Amino acid sequence: MNRANGAFGAGSIDWGEVFVGLAVLAAFVLAALLVLLFISRFASRLAKRSKTELDDKVVQALKLPAFLLILVTGFYAAALCVPSLGAYLIYVRKGSGAIATLIGAFLASRIVNIIAGWYSEKLSRRKKEDVSAKIVRTTRNVARVLVWTAAAFLLLDISEINIGPLVTSLGISGIIVAIALQSVLADLMTSFTIYLDRPFEPGDYVYIDDLKGTIEKVGLYSTRLKALRGEEIVISNKELRSKTVQNFKRMARRRVAFEIGVTYDTPAQKLKDIPGKIKTLIDEVPLASADRAHFYKFGPYSLDFEIVYYINTNDYTTYMDIQQQINIAIVELFEREGIEFAYPTQTLIIERPGNT
């Protein structure tokens, strides 16, 4: 067996082992080229058949990292075939591990960027430039930091550097930072919850406890409402989490129930006609549909009717317009029919002394 004197192992290199190692390396190079060919031709072709561009970009991102990872693995496998390298195998192992870690971190970071970019484009096409886009950017940055932090710890571990004290110090520092940023983190978590749950969106008209207004903007730390009087109301996301939110934009239709009273001297026939005529005039109004109308009680100064109808819209302004139109139509109906609305009155009967 041919050996050459040198500084490796017991002082010599076995060229037979070297040839085996080169053969293994050549096999891995061939495998890397085949994988690159497969990704370029077949995987790319399959990705183009899908409706989304996300898989196309992911496939393109896989090309170079996959090729390099196979080459690094081949280099390490080839080195293992040359035991005469002796102590140098340790450096080969560490170097190969470090390069593979960097390639993996680069690939993970690249895929995070691709997914975030694809989703941001999707949001922009839907014209949703609110908290969604900000959360996508924040999530992307956090994910990239985590990827490269994990890669850094792996590199330190490969280098056999004791990371125990570093992890402990980072843990203590993290607790201190978390306590200092507790309210900020609470706002951020609530914004994530709003993004995932979507209880409301910009343009929705909402009641938040005793506050009323239209959602103007949902930010990472606060939500802004525009009140009916025009002023802007800013609510912390942390505070918003504990409040009751009524979203009127999500209503498919609005229910309206109200009472009207007529005077006691209204003839019985007109009392019978009022429910049907009110239901008819409600049904004649676009987007309105009558549910019921009844003469339901004798009030202290009026004969009371209860009317219920629905307005098939979730827009508040349209709802108020239709309600106004129906109210005016009822007033005009009563004027035509000679029916008087009742209101609180008092009748004083004065008797003179001695009169019976």
What's the pLDDT at 1? 46
Indicate whether 188 pLDDT > 90: no
Point out which residues pair with 222 in neighbouring strands. 236
CB 287 within 8 Å of CB 318: yes
Residue 178 CA, distance from chain mean position = 24
* Residue 296 lies in domain: 251-337
Pair 198, 305 in one domain = no
Measure the CA dihedral 156/160/164/165, to 10°.
-80
Q: Which residue has the higher pLDDT, 335 or 158?
A: 335
Tell me the pLDDT of the chain averaged across its residues: 79
Of 57-66, 81-90, 117-126, 307-316, give the range with the top mean pLDDT. Answer: 307-316
Query: For position 266, what pLDDT does the model report?
Result: 93
Residue 266 domain-assigned? yes
3-state helix, strand, coil in the chain (%, to 5): 60, 15, 25
| 172 belongs to a structural domain | no
pLDDT at 296 over 80: yes
pLDDT band at 215 (very low <50, low <70, confident <90, very high): confident
Q: Is the pLDDT of residue 20 over 60?
A: yes
Q: Which 8-state DSSP code applies to residue 42?
A: I
Tell me which of 231 and 157 has the higher pLDDT: 231
Nearest alpha-carbon partner for 216 in 139, 131, 138: 131
Average pLDDT, stretch 71-93?
A: 79
Kindly indicate the confidence band of residue 263, based on its pLDDT and cuts at 50, 70 and 90.
very high
Partners of residue 260 on adjacent β-strands: 305
* Calpha distance 269→192 (Å, rounded): 62
Q: How far apart are CA 125 and CA 2, in angstroms?
A: 68
Query: 84: number of CA atoms within 13 Å, CB side?
Result: 20
End-to-end CA distance of the chain: 148
User: Any idea what the CATH number is for the domain that residue 237 is in?
Assistant: 2.30.30.60
Which of 36-45, 295-304, 339-348 is the least confident region? Answer: 36-45
Q: Are 309 and 326 in contact (CB under 8 A)?
A: yes
pLDDT band of 89, cuts 50, 70, 90: confident
User: Higher pLDDT residue, 185 or 33?
Assistant: 33
Q: What DSSP character marks residue 41?
A: I
Residue 299 has pLDDT above 80, yes or no: yes
Determine what percent of the chain is predicted with pLDDT higher than 70.
Answer: 78
Both 79 and 204 in one domain: the answer is no
pLDDT value at residue 326: 96
Query: Region 234-248: what's the mean pLDDT?
Result: 80
Q: Does 157 score more than 50 pLDDT? A: yes
Q: How confident is the model at residue 166 (pLDDT cuts 50, 70, 90)?
A: low
Q: How far apart are CA 308 and CA 283, in angstroms?
A: 12
Q: Has residue 177 got a pLDDT over 70?
A: no
Q: What is the pLDDT of residue 269?
A: 94
**Pair 226, 307 in one domain:** no
Full DSSP string of 231-258: -EEEEEHHHHTTS-EEEGGG-SSEEEEE
What is the total count of domains within the chain? 3
In a 13 Å sphere around the CA of 134, the CA atoms on its Cβ side amount to: 14
Structure tokens at 95: 């170097």
Q: What is the dihedral of CA 338, 341, 346, 349, to 10 degrees?
A: 20
* Backbone angles phi and psi of 231, in degrees to 5: -75, 155
Tell me: do 327 and 214 sit in the same domain: no
Domain assignment present for 35: yes
Average pLDDT rounded to a whole number, residues 161-168: 64
Is the pTM here over 0.95, yes or no? no
Residue scoring higher pLDDT (293 or 121)? 293
351 within a domain of the structure (yes/no):
no
Higher pLDDT, 182 or 31: 31
What digits encode the pLDDT tens for the residues 48-80?
777 777 777 777 778 888 888 888 888 888 887
Hey, how many other C-beta atoms are within 10 angstroms of the C-beta on 65?
Answer: 19
Going by C-beta distance under 8 Å and a sequence separation of 6 or more, which residues neighbour residue 294?
Answer: 275, 305, 306
Provide mean pLDDT across the span 135-148: 77
Helix 15-38 and helix 54-80: axis angle, to 10°? 170
In which band, very low, low, confident or very high, does the pLDDT at 356 lie, cut at 50, 70 and 90? low
Residues 263 and 230 placed together within one structural domain of the fold: no
For residues 239 and 310, membership in a common domain is answered with no
3-state secondary structure 267-297: CHHHHHHHHHHHHHHHHCCCCEEEEEEEEEE
* Angle between helices 164-180 and 182-197 in degrees, nearest 10: 80
User: Residue 8 — very low, low, confident or very high, per pLDDT cuts 50/70/90?
Assistant: very low
- Assigned domain for 187 exists: no
CB 24 within 8 A of CB 70: no
Within a domain: residue 168?
Answer: no
Question: What is the CATH number for 310?
Answer: 3.30.70.100
Judge whether residue 5 has pLDDT over 60: no
Sequence-distant (6+) residues with CB within 8 A of 14 are 1, 2, 3, 82, 83, 84
Mean pLDDT along residues 133-159: 78
Q: Are residues 101 and 229 in the same domain?
A: no
Quick check: 236 pLDDT over 90? Answer: no
- The residue-averaged pLDDT of 314-329 equals 90
List CB contacts of 166: < 8 A, sequence separation 6 or more: 156
